Amino acid sequence: MTPTILLMMAIFILGAGALIGFFKTKTKGFGRFTTSVFLILLVIIIAALLYAGGKLEGQVMANVLFAVFGFAGGLFTSKDGNEAGK
């Protein structure tokens, strides 16, 4: 097996484990945070598989990661600009 195939298999196994862990630990129903975390996981897993397979350039992968981190950071900020935890 080539290193690319092994890398893609490892990413798939880690991604599947993350999704299984997500569904085992989440509360019942799909609220704002649950749906957002699920979508973030899917985007990261799919983008990582495409990047490992050579179908996604490094700059595009960096943009995907910046978008994911920005989206995740916005989840924890309320609409009036204050942090949600305060």
Segment 67-83 mean pLDDT: 71
More confident residue, 73 or 7: 7
Non-local CB neighbours of 25 within 8 Å, separated by 6+ positions? none
Return d(Cα 71, Cα 78) in angstroms, integer.
13
Q: Where are the domains positioned within the chain?
A: 3-75
Tell me, what's the pLDDT at 78? 57
Query: Average pLDDT, whole number, for the chain?
Result: 82
Looking at residue 84, its pLDDT comes to 54
Q: Is the pTM of this model over 0.95?
A: no
What is residue 86's predicted lDDT score, i.e. its pLDDT?
52
Three-state SS for 83? strand
pLDDT in tens, 30-64: 777 778 888 888 989 999 998 888 888 889 989 98
